Amino acid sequence: MKRDEFYRRLFEIIPGLLTWSTLITLFILAFVKPIWVAIFVITFDVYWVIRVSYLTMLLVFAYGRLEKEKKIDWLKDCESLGSIDGFEYGDIYHVILFPVYKEGLEILAPSISALENANYPKEKMIIILSTEERAGENAWNNALALKEKYNNSFFQFLVTKHPDNIIGEIKVKGANATWGAKALKYFLDSKDIDYGHVIMSCFDADTCADREYFGCLSYHYLTNPNRLRSSYQPIPVYNNNIWHARSIARILELGASFMQMVETMRLEKFVTFSSHSMSFKTLVEVGYWPVDMISDDSAIYWKCFLHFNGDYSVIPMYVTVSMDVATEKSVIGTIIKQYKQKRRWAWGVENFPYVLMGFLENRKIPLRKKIRRAFHILESHYTWAVWAIIITFVAPLPLIFGGGLFRQTAIGFNLPSVAAALFRMSLFTILVCVFISVKLLPPRPKDVKPAKGLVMIAQWLLSPLVVALLGSTPALDAQTRLMLGKYLHFHVTEKSRHGHAVQ
């Protein structure tokens, strides 16, 4: 037990230690060996330009797939498949689970309405609203009101209340989702429905699924021979309130969407994120979502990965689910909200000790696979925490602290111009982002002026500021907390939709 605790703490410390060692070493070297730091900065800049160019190319590929698959009539394709492995699309039940806290009707109703508008047969769809006891009567009454309104629209509309303070649980979304899934199990047992025919989609409260979502999901589920050992990941876009959100928030959320699109092209690293789907049979077999981890969306993937000895994958679906941009009326409020949301995402670094502890226990996963996956987690979180700091804050350090002699050296003289040239080389990626962001935009609401369309393009000028402010700092914060054992508590990103235009 003591040995386990030691290893867990060690694995918790490693990401933060690596990140801080890098930053502190670079800072010290900027004083004593500015030339070394300058060489490092140029090397990192070259690496970053190449990496960003490569990722942009993957983004273009992914966007191409998204555009192409938008035109597919998935239900028709499902029908044409006929029976596979003894069942066909008509046998599939879709369960959409919303673990909710205090989100109001204005957030939940559009999400359920989007499900009502889906082109999938409603008699095969089950909705579960799993509320939190600690959220109070209001949340429960909202759930009941929605049940009353939509009860006849679907095969079943279940409402549950997750009790507080269950032993072994902490206050996280995964605990609520698990409670809701267990309630579903009772229901399915009562109807004698095969778990293998049930696909569970765990959605954030603000998730509005594309009308083709369930057809697309059914198609991938049916055609995937390894369907029970796969999760199904749509592309998250943040379109619900994008026309009313602050520019800073829009850039960050678009960046998140783009990264998810890129990840669909890198399956060896692909991990579930936010709203996604999986077989209910698999969910029951692995023992539901972790009830003591904040990043339940990725943690469930790793839980499955460990349970099935590494034989678990994520299938990308080029269909979108739309969510809210985390925004506020004020710029400062938006920055704080975004910071907290990104820090919660970056808290996904908690998967590193979780996965490594699992790797220590599991002898069946090949060592090479263990090393590769552990490296992927560590590398992605490490890079997240240092890249923006290196580019914006470390890069000028040799010039500031290197002294006159350094500035007289060729590298001291060339550093600003070389860095600027590399930065200019990466500007084309912004143009690609602008193009795709415009293509992904939903129609402009009537209360938004046409000129806002220009703001949607001009907003990208804020990118350097956004990078400096929120590029790495939330990840650094998360890793530092994990390193020091000051664990993050689940912070619900408050959903709010403003009915007014914000410039």
Partner 1 sequence: MKNSDKIKRAIAFYSFVMLFFILLPVILAYSLGYHIDFKELKIYKRGIIYITSHPTGAFIYINGKLHTDLTPAQIEELKPGTYRMEVRREGFYPWEKEVVVKPNMVTKAEHIILFPIVQETKRIGEEETIDFAVLNKSNIYYMARSGLFRSNIDGSSFKKLSSYSNWPKKIVNKKFSTDGNKFLYFDERNIWVVYLNLDKTIVQNGENAHVEEVLISEDPIVDVFWHSLSNYIIIITEKYVDVLELQGGGKRNTATLYKFNKKPKGLYYDEGSDSLYFTDAKRSADSKEATYLYRLDLRQTFFSKLMQLFTKKEVETLDEKR
- How far is CA 214 from each of CA 4, 139, 211, 246, 401, rounded to the nearest angstrom? 42, 27, 7, 31, 58
- Nearer CB in complex with partner 1: 44/382: 44
Site for partner 1 contains 50 (CB under 8 A):
yes
In terms of Cα–Cα distance, which of 83, 45, 41 is closest to 424?
45
Give the total of residues touching partner 1 (CB under 8 A).
30
Least Å from the CB of residue 467 to partner 1: 21
Contacts of 123 (CB under 8 A, 6+ apart): 154, 155
- Nearer CB in complex with partner 1: 50/336: 50
- Nearer CB in complex with partner 1: 394/415: 415
Single out the segment in contact with partner 1 by CB under 8 A; choices: 91-99, 110-118, 228-236, 409-417: 409-417
- Nearer CB in complex with partner 1: 353/412: 412
User: For 487, which DSSP code?
Assistant: P
- Nearer CB in complex with partner 1: 367/410: 410
Q: Six-digit token pair at 371?
A: 């090393």
* Residues of this chain, 287-346, that bind partner 1 according to CB under 8 A: 316
Site for partner 1 contains 265 (CB under 8 A):
yes
**Window 458-487: contact mask with partner 1 (x via CB under 8 A):** ------------------------------
- Nearer CB in complex with partner 1: 142/264: 264
Least Å from the CB of residue 224 to partner 1: 13
CA 363 to chain centre: 29
H-only helix segments in 117-212: 137-150, 173-191
Q: Six-digit token pair at 211?
A: 């009308």
- Nearer CB in complex with partner 1: 290/412: 412
First to last CA, the chain: 55
Which long-range contacts does 331-337 make (Cβ < 8 Å, 24+ apart)?
331/246, 331/248, 334/245, 334/246, 334/248, 334/249, 335/248, 335/469, 335/470, 337/249, 337/493, 337/494
CB 479 within 8 A of CB 346: yes
Q: Round to whole Å and give the CA distance between 172 and 186.
A: 23
Site for partner 1 contains 57 (CB under 8 A):
yes
Least Å from the CB of residue 3 to partner 1: 39
**Number of CB atoms found within 10 A of residue 141's CB:** 12
Site for partner 1 contains 420 (CB under 8 A):
no
* Residues of this chain, 351-390, that bind partner 1 according to CB under 8 A: none
Least Å from the CB of residue 433 to partner 1: 17
Look at residue 201 and give its three-state secondary structure.
Answer: strand
Site for partner 1 contains 1 (CB under 8 A):
no
- Nearer CB in complex with partner 1: 51/149: 51
* Residues of this chain, 422-441, that bind partner 1 according to CB under 8 A: 422
**Antiparallel, parallel or unpaired: β 125-132 and 198-202:** unpaired
Taken as a whole, the chain contains a residue count of 503
Site for partner 1 contains 58 (CB under 8 A):
yes
- Nearer CB in complex with partner 1: 57/360: 57
Q: Which helix (H) or strand (E) holds 17?
A: helix 2-32
Single out the segment in contact with partner 1 by CB under 8 A; choices: 50-58, 352-360, 370-378, 443-451: 50-58
Q: Round to whole Å and give the CA distance between 79 and 95.
A: 20
**Residue 87, beta-bridge partner list:** 84
Single out the segment in contact with partner 1 by CB under 8 A; choices: 58-66, 130-138, 189-197, 382-390: 58-66
Q: Which helix (H) or strand (E) holds 299?
A: helix 296-307
Least Å from the CB of residue 413 to partner 1: 4
Q: Round to whole Å and give the CA distance between 163 and 355.
A: 29
Site for partner 1 contains 70 (CB under 8 A):
no
- Nearer CB in complex with partner 1: 14/41: 41
State which of residues 70, 266, 444, 449 lies at the interface with partner 1 (CB under 8 A).
266
In terms of Cα–Cα distance, which of 392, 407, 293 is closest to 344?
293
Q: Round to whole Å and give the CA distance between 382 and 475.
A: 8
- Nearer CB in complex with partner 1: 332/405: 405
Contacts of 81 (CB under 8 A, 6+ apart): 88, 89, 219, 222, 223
State which of residues 153, 409, 426, 493 lies at the interface with partner 1 (CB under 8 A).
409
State which of residues 109, 145, 365, 418 lies at the interface with partner 1 (CB under 8 A).
418
Least Å from the CB of residue 268 to partner 1: 10
**Window 6-45: contact mask with partner 1 (x via CB under 8 A):** --------------------------------xx--xx--
- Nearer CB in complex with partner 1: 170/411: 411
- Nearer CB in complex with partner 1: 6/413: 413
- Give the residues lining the site for partner 1 (CB under 8 A): 38-39, 42-43, 46-47, 50-51, 53-54, 57-58, 61, 65, 264-267, 316, 407-415, 418, 422
